[in-house]
Structure 1
């Protein structure tokens, strides 16, 4: 049995997502388990170097989680042949430049999304990686959520018959920062800093829809900045210039219709922060982050509209939970393990920079539909 150390440049891990999901719950967790075990008994052991602008924050993270290497000089980290992977979870406006540097240095690329601030920028990254011959991947974490894995199992089994429609509802209330601290960084609400819920969430909805329900034919979208003034991390009031809610309809090539609401200004009265209801001819399901419940056509009740009497049904009790037939690991960690195997032994990894560009394309088209108050078609995207 051999242990293969893989040097990973992790740029941007002092942010919320980079720290929690990618460093602590993925790389640190993999290291604590002894690495990624391969079928032949070998082990892939991640050896990260934390890179960023704030040395004190990097050192504190490294000390807390047993990481030996940090640095504030990205060029030096890229010049080190031990580092074969470049990972980027910086803010969107900084990401493309870091990825370009890493591609030029011959590093394999793994990154958060959106991969760039425009579809043209995202396609450029995909082309550069292809021309350089470096492997590349984009985080598509929601595909590995337990609730969506259960939903995918239902779809693959033919449970729904023909899928007619999908209702996707995502969001929660993000505090304005004046009387309670906001749960998201302030840049999310400034368009000039790459913020906005359309840019953020449509990249997710693209891969969820593509992988579960089918190819998107066209869409329309209404965005809104419902709260136009917020308070940042330093207690300073600032003008919110980015959209904090989006209301979209996607028409699929197979005829199904998806309604997708995304909002940081909604109070939750549903099973989870994300719920996806799928209605088919033979049955329906509602998936959340971890759970999924179903209602087959033979269990469907027969309600009658009559507002003059109390409702005789408890609709919530008429659904059945999909059982926990397997153990579900953290979705970010699962995808990290798959990418490490892809790098070491060329295992399949379909979620590349071109797939990431499709997410940016959908965000761009959502913004176009909103500002033009129209339906727009979704053309095929190729390098």
Structure 2
């Protein structure tokens, strides 16, 4: 039996920061370097990428630099070639829908950055089209593979928390306006007309994190704001920031769990990591970040007493224990690529499909509606 299988992957949008760094360099090329994706029957799936985009010069240079044989500026021709079985899209969300439809019509399995499309309705339509064509479909869900959240999942599965009561999340950092110091994020992130906004960007992540760790989100109350109304783009030109740069959300989950998550590109960091989640339960609590996870069990919980007239001498952070790694954690983007490729090869399922992606953009839509109307918004069910 041949121990290797080859799958050709169309990679559209790899000249962008995320498409290049995380998906091409640290995922597909890293999988190539390790000799493919291992399957449960002992075979390995070798990935052969073709780089697609609008700029021939950039594509040619990327292909030369990383010893990639194939590249093209003609997506239609590439989709018509049977050598390529998987279509990946890391373009701007505003142009992704048309390309994904073309890939479905060409019979390609689908894996995309999030959000899959601009509306939940569009994503559900794409999912149903792909189902009807018998195609696998998946959406990025990298936060689930962060070492800190993998440790948190370990605690949830072990019943460490007892009954989970609440989740509190803090995400963000100060993104410079772009005049005195260069901005750390591209300018389109701050233009609503280009698909920008922290709600659209981050609520999709929070949906799958909350859903897969604690339960489905059933309702949301949110406030989205634009704290910094004027920024400077990559050419040093000022522009009006029309998209929200911060959002403050309350999410109601299955089982009565309440999650509060603040997301901001206008906050200065005073925490150990750029994102942290505190989970409180009847039997214990945990604080998880990108890498670390600390716990405090009920039996070891101190008894603080409120007294504003006396200085606090307790070192509360020292009362928590660090959760050990007990494993080697791979790059999250690479891990999810391997998960999707295994499903294409018939080796297991891929639960983070377009329907999961639709639930993410549905939460973003509901969050924006809640903010605009000043009310709690219940979420409609989305399922195959």
Q: Fold conserved (TM > 0.5)?
A: yes
Query: For 2:253 and 2:43, how far apart are their aligned partners in 1?
Result: 44
Q: Could you tell me whether the CA contact under 8 Å between 1:215 and 1:254 is conserved in 2?
A: no
Aligned counterpart, 1:49 = 50
Question: For 1:199-221, what per-residue CA distance to the aligned partner results, in whole angstroms no more than 9, with x for missing partners?
Answer: 11111111111111112221100
Structure 2: gaps (5+ residues): none
Query: For 1:265 and 1:34, how far apart are their aligned partners in 2?
Result: 42
Aligned counterpart, 1:237 = 238
Q: CA deviation at 1:307?
A: 2.5
Structural mapping, 1:201-350, within 5 Å: 201-350=202-351
Query: For 2:228 and 2:48, how far apart are their aligned partners in 1?
Result: 43
Question: For 1:64-120, what per-residue CA distance to the aligned partner results, in whole angstroms no more than 9, with x for missing partners?
Answer: 222111110000110110000000011111111111110011100000100111111
Q: Secondary structure at the match of 1:270?
A: coil
Q: Could you tell me whether the CA contact under 8 Å between 2:111 and 2:140 is conserved in 1?
A: yes
Q: CA deviation at 1:6?
A: 0.9
Aligned counterpart, 1:63 = 64
Query: For 1:218 and 1:265, how far apart are their aligned partners in 2?
Result: 26
The RMSD of aligned alpha carbons is 1.1
Aligned counterpart, 2:117 = 116
Query: For 1:154 and 1:346, how far apart are their aligned partners in 2?
Result: 27
TM-score by length of 1: 0.98
Q: Could you tell me whether the CA contact under 8 Å between 1:338 and 1:349 is conserved in 2?
A: yes
Q: CA deviation at 1:41?
A: 3.1
Query: For 1:38 and 1:280, how far apart are their aligned partners in 2?
Result: 38
Structure 1 range deviating more: 54-63 or 227-236:
54-63
Query: For 1:41 and 1:157, how far apart are their aligned partners in 2?
Result: 30
Aligned counterpart, 1:83 = 84
Q: CA deviation at 1:252?
A: 1.6
Q: Could you tell me whether the CA contact under 8 Å between 2:39 and 2:347 is conserved in 1?
A: no
Query: For 2:44 and 2:134, how far apart are their aligned partners in 1?
Result: 25
Q: CA deviation at 1:167?
A: 0.2
Structure 1 range deviating more: 303-312 or 325-334:
303-312
Structure 1: gaps (5+ residues): none
Q: CA deviation at 1:346?
A: 4.2
Aligned counterpart, 1:31 = 32
Moved over 3 A (4+): none
Q: Could you tell me whether the CA contact under 8 Å between 2:172 and 2:267 is conserved in 1?
A: yes
Q: Secondary structure at the match of 1:345?
A: coil
Query: For 1:28 and 1:274, how far apart are their aligned partners in 2?
Result: 28
Question: For 1:224-277, what per-residue CA distance to the aligned partner results, in whole angstroms no more than 9, with x for missing partners?
Answer: 000011111111111000000000001123111100100011111111111000
Structural mapping, 1:12-23, within 5 Å: 12-23=13-24
Q: Could you tell me whether the CA contact under 8 Å between 1:95 and 1:116 is conserved in 2?
A: yes
Query: For 2:377 and 2:40, how far apart are their aligned partners in 1?
Result: 47
